[in-house]
A and B are shown apart, each in its own frame.
Chain A
Amino acid sequence: MTIVWSLLKHNGKPITAYAVGTSLYLLMLAALYPSMMKTGLLEAKLQALPPEVLKAFQYDKITGFDNVLDLLGGNYYGLIFQIIASLFLLSLAARLLARPIDNGELILYLAAPITRHQYTASAMIVMFLASTCLVVCNTFVLLMADWFVSGVSIDGMTLVRFQVNALFLLYAIGGFTLCIATLFDDERRAFSIAGGVLVLSIVLTIGSGLSEKTEWMRYGSIFSLFNTQQLLEGTHHFFLHLLLLASISLLFHLGAFVSFRKRSLSI
């Protein structure tokens, strides 16, 4: 617990910044949603956009918005969340493992009678807590908006499915970034490899919306396991996707344990 507490203390500011920043953005959208609906400006603007762009943002529903989740499903959870999640977990994995390995700060912990498994487990717990904190803050803000702003009208079950799916996506990306962070002595190398894979996933997601011929590209990306449009329509393989994300998370976390246990450290 000492290590977890210390790592949380050391990384508390960026975790809070991401959680508060995304929550404020959601709050702003939720607060503006009723007036946007009243003026009809939003729908007019969306209809003016090419269908490829709308698809890239998972905005299929341009015929009407029933509640704020319809808007967020495209605006925030369609693509922005994936980009923010990638940056958040890339930087957190770098701060927890890649950077301390690179600059030698890790010796503060590894000189103590703790195993590398204990340190990896602590880093993993911090990643889990940080991801959970982000999703809980986002959910809390949306619930607050639902209670206090008239016209937001969020469907509780859809919101829960959104957030649970988002949380599992964060766990999976977190496992991947943590595993890559254990592989290299050089922080920039670890960051660029993990970042490269995540950027490719985002490109595949965007590319899949460009035409029907490129739709297959979505399945090359981990983000296909968080399809907001299908979640809103209720056609999403919710539990299957959760299972796949949990498996990816487990696989990469195990990989992180194995690779960090075996490697020599020049710290």
Chain B
Amino acid sequence: MIHLQHVTKEFAPKRGLFDVSFTVEPGMVFGFIGPNGAGKSTAIRQLMGLIQADSGHATIGGYDCWNQSQDVKRIVGYLPGEINLPGDFTGEQVLHLMQQLHQSKPERQSELLEQFPFETKTKIRKMSKGMKQKLALVGCFMKDAPVYLLDEPTSGLDPLMQERFLSLVDKERQRGKAILMSSHHFPEMEKSCDRAALIKEGRIIIEADIHELVRSSRKQYTIEFGLEAQAEQFALQIGSQRFQNHVSFFTSNERTLNQIIRLLTEYDVRAIQTSADDLEHVFLHYYSEEEPS
């Protein structure tokens, strides 16, 4: 449904998008993860026909995102990263205008307003960030489009609204929608995405199934020894640092882990702790690994 093929758009060296390719199929939530300025929003703008690529090809539903942007936008619900709306309009006026521009159904708007309630008579300039985000979410999803492009969708939402948003995304996925979601909020990505791509300085550094990505991440293990002397000896053996009678190390390699367990049979081990398998570790792993030394 959503295809980016070798898309490059260079604003400056290491700024923009460089040879980015990925595909989002119907019924899939694709996570686009990266720090600020990595190129997530640029990729989404590319798909919305706001930016022309230097090279490569972006299509949605078979339509070229630059040359057939009107057709593309007919089948896309878009949530921008920065919610900027005319300050003089009320929420109600914005929703009414969006309904007319997108020709969406009023019933769906009412359903969404029940899930994401806010005072619709308030003027935009008087709204908090959370209110504007809810307004944008209602505006985006009331279109009932087959494709959604969501740039930082939970930014400014409280935990309850975040949960509601995730269940809405899940429902839409089950209805066969193709959803591209960019964020650096890891728990929501982990809960909602099927696949994810990590982007850094405009390049995708890894793209995989989200669970595979988490499983393959480098994890931290902490061993507690009965004696500090043993901790010291073990730290020397594996080339790690000791803190009192604890030794911590990172590994993503199963062979290394098995070797370490074999070594540990000769020690008085009191406890073994592992860090949670989460996306944040995957992110930190890839980003710290790529940092120049």
Contacts and interface: CB of A to CB of B under 8 A. Distances in A.
A235 interface: no
A39 interface: no
B73 interface: yes
A111 B70 contact: no
Interface string B77-108: 01010101110110000100110111000000
Contact of A108 (B45, B50, B71, B97): B97
Interface string B22-59: 00000000000000000000000100101110000000
A266 B39 CA distance: 12
B155 interface: no
A107 B83 CA distance: 9
Interface residues of B, number: 25
Contacts, number: 61
Contact of A104 (B9, B82, B89, B97): B82
A267 B89 CA distance: 19
A185 to B, nearest CB: 12
Contact of A115 (B45, B48, B69, B86): B69
B14 interface: no
A114 B100 contact: no
9 contacts: A2-B100, A2-B101, A105-B84, A109-B101, A110-B50, A112-B101, A115-B69, A264-B51, A267-B50
A267 B151 CA distance: 12
Interface of B: 9, 45, 48, 50-52, 69-71, 73-74, 78, 80, 82, 84-86, 88-89, 94, 97-98, 100-102
B73 to A, nearest CB: 4
Given A2-B101, A6-B97, A10-B89, A111 B84 contact: no
Nearest to A116: B69
Contacts of A2: 97, 100-101
Given A3-B101, A103-B84, 16 more contacts: A10-B86, A104-B84, A105-B84, A105-B86, A107-B84, A108-B94, A109-B101, A110-B50, A111-B73, A111-B80, A112-B73, A112-B101, A113-B102, A114-B101, A264-B50, A265-B50
